[in-house]
Structure 1
């Protein structure tokens, strides 16, 4: 996390809005020389002084009140995710230290659930955004990720750094941007998490696209959607994904990719499962202990 992420986030969001979008009169925006809203316009909408808002953007005003934060969220038309992100950047969740310990191993019951999904790719990630473990179908769909050492096994790292990922994701840029936006949200929620900070630093140095996308200060949290993959054995796949959070294992998320019953993609997953069951062709099996 940077020294003035809160100010940079406000500035980036301010630049993405126009007076019309926030209900300012037309004459208020005439003869503009800047993109987006002016600082004075945001201050007016939020009911704070221009001087105070300027100090917020410059990182000279610390610990704004919840009332001010809510007013800024309303002024800048933040959605729920952006609102939560701003509060995290302001340190309103401070007072407890983020745990950066190694994630627990998968419980046997969770492993059993994973392996019961024979025609769905499923894996569990922890609060460090590393993959704790996945089922056989996940290993067949993403063998490069499954082969990574446990500490480095991250879908975000693989997507942004492995050239092969660009061949797997049919919409690589959209998927990669989604991971960047989700990573920024996770970093704000866990400002003392060294594993996440190290991942961000690695991506800054090694990914050509990451620095520019990171500087956009976009935040996003997707729990459902669709992704298109191209597998070297079975071809193109259109899969739906769902993300579930665990009550029994705080910080763990279960990610499941599946195809509609009877669809061409499900038949291709069935073919992949059959191909993977052959010892002569199946990749090394993923384990939670690796």
Structure 2
């Protein structure tokens, strides 16, 4: 899978699993998700970042919308395998540590978000608005490939190019050895 990610050079690409773990990225994705990935050595988790890391409020200018989307996606994943112990543990952890997660989880909103636009505030390049597309990885049920791109000729595209130049110095991110807790 990593070779396929590395071939995507015009956008941010990453693979996540049903537990919201960020499994692999292309070099631009690694640079983009530095607030989440940090120095590496762990499997970063999008839901833990969203609800437990204060840096997520800066990274996601539309934090409330992202929180709702994250939980709705998790609800859809829970329906696919209600006996997944790792997933149950993640929901339990987030429910005990985040009032917002607990409230949203209790709302029972179930949705997938296959395509659209999102705003981010990257600490090195500022605000970017990106179109996204979610693609199922059929060889690995529960995994999805996410691709973010900027509209050509926009300030977001310019900022993404700047980030790409910074990304050229970083290795691709692959699965770490710890759980990211």
Q: Same fold by TM (over 0.5)?
A: yes
Which residue does 2:174 correspond to in 1? 287
The offset of 1:286, in angstroms, is 1.6
Once residues 277 and 127 of structure 1 are traced to their aligned partners in structure 2, the CA distance between those partners, rounded to angstroms, is 29
Return the offset for 1:218: 1.1
Structure-2 separation of matches of 1:119 and 1:192: 38
The whole-number CA distance in structure 2 between the counterparts of 1:249 and 1:217 is 26
Matches within 5 A, 1:133-282: 133-146=24-37, 147=40, 149-150=42-43, 153-278=44-169, 282=170
Task: Flag structure 1 segments of 5+ consecutive residues without an equivalent.
Answer: 1-109
Contact 2:27/2:168, CA 8 A, preserved across alignment: no
Structure 1 or 2, whichever has the larger Rg, is: 1
Aligned length: 175
Greater share of residues in strand: 2
By how many angstroms is 1:175 displaced? 0.4
Give the TM-score normalised by the residue count of structure 1. 0.57
> Is contact 1:129–1:196 with CA below 8 Å preserved after alignment?
no
Q: Tell me how far 1:142 sits from its aligned partner.
A: 1.1
Aligned partners of 1:134 and 1:288 also within 8 Å: no
CA distance in 1, matches of 2:139, 2:172: 26
Q: Distance in 2 between matches of 1:119 and 1:162?
A: 29
Deviation at 1:289, TM superposition (A): 4.9
Q: TM-score, normalised by structure 2?
A: 0.89
Higher-RCO chain (CA-CA 8 Å, sequence separation at least 6): 2
Structure 1 runs of 4+ with >3 Å offset: none
Tell me the distance in 2 between the aligned counterparts of 1:183 and 1:255.
Answer: 16
